[in-house]
Amino acid sequence: MPDRVLPDLRVHSIPNGSHGSGWDLGRYLYRGAAAVNRTDVDKWIAQGRLGEMRIERLELLEKIHAEVEGASVGAKTKKVWLSLLAVLIAWADQQDASLTLTTAKAKYLAFVDHLRDRVAVKTLAPASASTEAKSLAALLGPVLDPNTDHAAEALLKLSGIKRPKPHRRSRGLQADKQRMDHSFAFGHFLADVCTALTVEAVRGPVPLDIPLSEGRGTLRLLGGVVSGDLDPNDFKRPSRREKAVRPRAALAPDADAKESRHSLINVRINAEMLMFIAQTGMNLSQAVVEPRAEYRWQTEGDEDYIVRAVYKGRRQGVAKFVVFRSYRDHLKRYLDWLDALGLNDGDDRLFPILYPRQLPPAHELRDCRVLRDHCKALDIPFVAPRTLRNTRVNWLLRRSRDPELTAEMAAHAVETLLRVYDEGDLQSASQEIGKYHAETDPTLRKRLRTIPACLKGDESPRPLPDTPKEAPQPDCVTPEGCLWCEHFRDVLAPDYCWRLASHRHLHSLVISLYRPPESQPLHPSYLVIDRLTGKLKAIAARSAVCAEWVKEADERIREGDHHPRWAGLIKLVERFQ
């Protein structure tokens, strides 16, 4: 070993946890160190098991260290760089290759060829090989060619590796249903967990069994104990029996639940965080650092709330996120739960996770591994945060049919929403294609027609022979008159059934506001309702499919979903009730 002072090659720009050993490029001065576990490598070096120092690598490692420390990228990206650098050095050590500043480019190109060989024998995916080559080029390019513009792109191009074209899988009706079913099942699971883990349950005896809705079984949370099954009679000595039973008993009134029940607390906090992401569409990296605040609720439209965080000196507060009305009470219960357990003492985040033994690095995101494992054991699909956000955006887009409104709620540009998030669905596409052909192809208009037709031509309106005297007379002005006109023709279509049911509902509202005089005891709306009901019964009697159309139309009216032809008038009449 040369008699010289070696520079500090530890990477200080990547935060370490409370027990992290950090990244030290000085270890790679020893051949074979890159393949040794980082917790053992220093011991192996001290024992001399890795041989003499390879001082010829020092210049290369110094430049790589300077590039990592000065790069304007996040800690996660730097960890990826250094992980792949360790793989490259370990491969070079296996090849007994000299790794210096002069030979590094050739070794990089040879390593990319090695990745291609792995792809050829199907031990590595093409996309993974391309990603590894690109990440290494981003690190080594500026180091090996510091005076070259776009050195990383040039080095990657020199390697000749190309990213494979993305494989786009076709989406069908079943795939769309399955994705939504997975989201709903996971949402019910999260709601069950959050509802069951009350303050009393957290402080109560463990293990804790949570019955899940929809017959999905029972979730058992151990709450810090080693095993869920325990028979006190198995312990003959009273001291051992007491030592085994004590951790399972309910906590004393003065005991701090954060110490012995941290696993239960973390399960609910992670479940609440995922539910919050599904409601707000916020990124996971934003949600984990979202501060706790006093919230003020401002209504926005018929279904939404704008939630404002109120700080000192700001009367109205800062708009933080948008949620649905039904989430308000749930979030309030969660905030009360945080206060009851004192979880914001010393941690002002909205989702303050507990780490009883060691703290992770600040840049690491939560992976919700415990919830994922429970879902796997219960055969419940786990929906990751990114998928939750995508599902929310697509659900809003399908429901509103308004890209601008959806983009505003998701805090995206319309172009980004349509290019990145919009996945489309078969049902909407089929409707749009059918509507387009119905409007543009004259040969399909009669077959796809969903609105009634008038065949009077140049003739004047002609009432039916059995038209009641009190019924609206045909005048080609009001829709009610068409009901008793010889020129009027119905159509067999689900949209038309919905139209008739909405028309009937409108007249039922009119009757509720009517105070008949003695001279006219029968309101014409009664006759209109009877006529519309007769038409719906006649359509339903034609076939089982037609009967389903009528049944669905009646259900939509009961749900308050009215046909656009009559929705405006229905809302107007409802205001006077």
pLDDT in tens, 355-367: 876 666 655 557 6
Query: Beta-carbon neighbour count of residue 23 at 10 Å?
Result: 23
Tell me how far apart the alpha carbons of residues 548 and 350 are, in angstroms, rounded to a whole number.
48
Q: Indicate whether 140 and 198 sit together in one domain.
A: no
pTM: 0.60
Per-residue pLDDT averaged across 415-431, rounded?
Answer: 68
> Measured between alpha carbons, how far is 20 from 425 in angstroms, rounded to an integer?
46
Say how far apart CA 177 and CA 483 lie, in whole Å: 39
pLDDT at 520: 61
Which whole number is the average pLDDT over 196-212? Answer: 91
Mean pLDDT of the chain: 81
Q: Establish if 389 belongs to a structural domain.
A: no
Where does the pLDDT of residue 172 fall: very low under 50, low under 70, confident under 90, or very high at 90 and above?
A: low
**Are 80 and 187 in the same domain?**
no
Report the half-sphere exposure of 461 (CA within 13 A, side-chain side): 17
Which domain does 251 fall in, by range? 176-228+245-380
Tell me what the mean pLDDT of segment 482-504 comes to.
86
Name which residue leads in pLDDT, 301 or 265: 265
pLDDT tens digits for range 28-57: 898 888 888 777 888 888 888 888 888 999
Count: domains in the chain: 3
Tell me: do 148 and 188 sit in the same domain.
no
Are residues 209 and 144 part of one domain? Answer: no
Check whether residue 189 and residue 262 sit in a common domain.
yes
Do 463 and 563 belong together in one domain? yes
For residues 492 and 543, state if they share a domain. yes
Choose the final residue of a domain: 106, 130, 159: 159
Those residues whose C-beta lies under 8 Å from the C-beta of residue 480, and which sit 6 or more positions away, are: 472, 524, 528
Q: What percentage of the chain reaches a pLDDT higher than 90?
A: 27
Helix (H, G, I), strand (E, B) or coil at 88: helix
- H/E stretch holding 407 reads helix 403-410
Other beta carbons less than 10 A from residue 563's beta carbon: 21
Query: Predicted confidence band at 448 (pLDDT cuts at 50, 70, 90)?
Result: very low
Average pLDDT (217-221) is 90
Whether 29 is in a domain gets the answer: yes
Residue 164, sorted as left (phi over 0), alpha (psi -120 to 50) or beta, turns out to be: beta
Does one domain contain both 367 and 475? no
C-alpha 472/C-alpha 304 separation (Å) is 42
pLDDT digits (tens, 9 = 90+) for 528-547: 899 899 999 999 988 888 89
The CB density around residue 65, as the number of other CB atoms within 10 Å, is 21
Q: Give 305's pLDDT tier (boundaries 50, 70, 90).
A: low
Is the pLDDT score of 315 beyond 50? no
Q: Which two tokens stand for residue 173?
A: 């009706």
Asked whether residue 341 is domain-assigned, the answer is yes
Residues 328 and 474 in one domain: no
- Using the 3D structure, point to which of 128, 159, 190 is the last residue of a domain: 159
452 pLDDT above the threshold of 50: yes
Domain-located, residue 398: no
